[in-house]
Structure 1
Amino acid sequence: MALAIAAGVEVTASSAEQARTIPAPTQDEQKNTQTETAILAGGCFWGVQGVFQHVKGVVSAKSGYAGGNRNTAQYETVSNGDTGHAESVEIVFDPAKVSYGHLLQIYFSVAHDPTELNRQGPDTGTQYRSAIFPTTPEQAAVAKAYISQLNHSHVFDGPIVTKIEPGKTFYPAENYHQDFLTNNPTYPYIVINDLPKIEHLKQLFPMDYRARPVLVSAKGSTD
């Protein structure tokens, strides 16, 4: 995820992948009164975490790894691309305020491009794949139905390559990766690839956007 920027190069929002308006899922979870956990992978976890930290109803969003084993869940090892892990974000949310299906709508619309296979933006490898790690059978059913719905509606230029991978454990990433977008707003990679995602969230989902992110390093508001 390191990126060198030549002196004098102007950074614009057009450098990032474009978000798009997509329909809401026709199938969603039953209403639940307790918090739930969603685990999503969509390229570099800095941007995915940053997006969901700004979504109302999200209690916490933590960067980490899913898809592989505990003993390989370290950044340097995962970066080799052969561990089975994907850079992922564990999202704890209040389903009374935001549904699982709506989180998926934001994920497909704003957080990443689900038509890119084993890459996102400048990052390539299976560790940057688009993947959903459902924590319940109902989440798996909702995700499967939504991918089918979006493919049939042809809202994307190509087929969705997002894989549904149940039964995988999430392992938190190193502390220096947590809250990276908030802590490093002028870092070139963040400026080019991730800050536009926050702007897209504000524009496409204004009722869901929260200006104050809920951070790993400190308790944030959940309203």
Structure 2
Amino acid sequence: MIRAARLLALMQALRRRRRAVAAAALAEELSVSLRTIYRDIATLVAEGAPIEGTAGLGYRLRQGFFLPPLMLTEEEADAVMLGLRLVAERGDAGLTEAAEEAMAKIAAILPPAVEEAAAASPLLAGPARGSGASPLLGPIRAAMRSEHKLRLRYVDGAGAGTERVVWPIAIGFFAAAEVLAAWCELRRDFRHFRLDRIAAATTLPQRMPQRRRVLLATWRAQSDLDEMP
């Protein structure tokens, strides 16, 4: 790896982490020696990179620092564009518009050859099964973002209706359906609700008692994602 590319890779490795990372971990990731990491860190700091930390303790980028956009390879451009096309097909109006705006911004920074390859990518995204995105996707996303409780009217596979107060934490997009993962106050446990079976969703004024990221981490530790519909 040439030095300029290695310095960019080192900055990218630091940017991906919120906490300090040991020099040994960086050296293993980049397949270089500890001495090279120490030397490259010193070079980046001398050039003005806001890297905090010391040898033996770990390094991290100062909070609030953002790298300028990096150029993408054709493979990376294919991956990013396919993901955004899937969002545009399966998301609500807000997500669709955001995905289209993001695609335009990414296309604007790509070198001409990569931009042409991305535009002609053979990786296409088809519409979701059924009648498109649930009209409740937007309101549920808003409740998750603001960390407010939801009151759901839910109809199960047998046609039985129930009313639940839940703490929404995540939405999974699967081949058969979109699924809301939430803490259910009735069951006092995590439950999964298909969006196409939610008859109504009302955002309540009460905030969730726990932060969503804490609930999400607990749910991930307890759930078998392979068993979700």
Structure showing the higher strand proportion among its residues: 2
Q: Which has the larger radius of gyration?
A: 2
Which band: TM-score by shorter chain? under 0.3
TM-score for the superposition, normalised by structure 2: 0.23
Higher relative contact order (CA 8 A, sep 6+): 1
Structure showing the higher helix proportion among its residues: 2
